[in-house]
Amino acid sequence: MATVPMGQPSRLALYLDLIRWNRPAGWLLLLWPTLAALWVAAGGFPGWHLLAVFTLGTILMRSAGCCINDVADRDFDRHVKRTAQRPVTSGRIGVREALAVGAVLALAAFCLVLTTNTVTVLWSFAALAVTLVYPYAKRFVSMPQAVLGVAFSFGIPMAFAAVQQQVPPLAWGLLVANLFWVLAYDTEYAMVDRDDDLRIGMKTSAITLGRADVPAIAAFYLVWLAAWTALIGSQVQARPLVWGLTLLVALAQVGWHVRLIADRSRDGCFRAFRTNHWLGFTVFAGTALVLA
């Protein structure tokens, strides 16, 4: 029986590190808008089956995306302090092995999708295509966070497809609205690595926006909240006080985020990014409550 040398992490530990298992903020950022869309599409609780499919599917696809991203960025990540010790970048996991792990995770997610309907299955291929494209967008697109916004919001049309067997205009409107939230938090994330990215020639929204980054992030947050409110407005009319309180809590968090990133420090920007899942949870909880 093979043993792991003293001081060396096991293969399982490396795989868990590869998929960021100890950093759940990443998949939570995908989960909350997806679940909110499920509630909107269903006009309330969507049922345990779809809740389980989309929760587990989100975790699996986020994990698969980490495998693809780390392979694509391995030559860049070694020059960035925050990412230099990632398993693929450091050579502890090979490229083929990482891709194999990602393929297994994506296949498991696809098996979950097969329990829904044909429309959702078909849209899952588009979701996979966007997942594969995003890691390479950072080489060519000045605002790659917009591509990530589409990838991180694609659970919204899939949720509508699973509930209604169609993707109505409302789903695309919510996707565009959510894209602005992704622009906000991923620009905060990009601000952490701005100096390293400038040195290695990576394109990010933090670099493109320059000194306009902080006001732009504040604007992205506000557009997201305003657009989400406008799009589900007819459904929240019955409980305006609940939605009003939701917006107050969300806006308080936005104000705190702006304070955290105001001096553009690495620690402040990273803390703002890592706590965005609470903002997403706030909007999901408010959406679920007004539709209860």
Segment 143-172, tens digit of pLDDT: 888 888 888 899 999 999 999 999 999 999
> Is 124 inside any structural domain?
yes
> Is 151 inside any structural domain?
yes
Q: Which domain holds residue 54?
A: 11-290
> Is 152 inside any structural domain?
yes
Res 1: pLDDT? 38
**Integer CA distances (angstroms), 142 to 6, 161, 197, 210, 242, in order:** 45, 32, 12, 12, 39
CATH of the domain at 133: 1.10.357.140
**Ranges under pLDDT 50 in the chain:** 1-6
Structure confidence by residue, pLDDT tens digits, 222-256:
999 999 999 988 776 778 899 999 999 999 999 99
> Is 4 inside any structural domain?
no
> Is 148 inside any structural domain?
yes
> Is 2 inside any structural domain?
no
> Is 255 inside any structural domain?
yes
98-117 in b/e burial notation, b at 16+ Cβ within 10 A? bbebbeebbebbbebbeebe
Q: Assess contact for 207 and 197: CB atoms under 8 A.
A: yes
Domain count within the chain: 1
Res 133: pLDDT? 84
> Is 1 inside any structural domain?
no
Res 80: pLDDT? 73
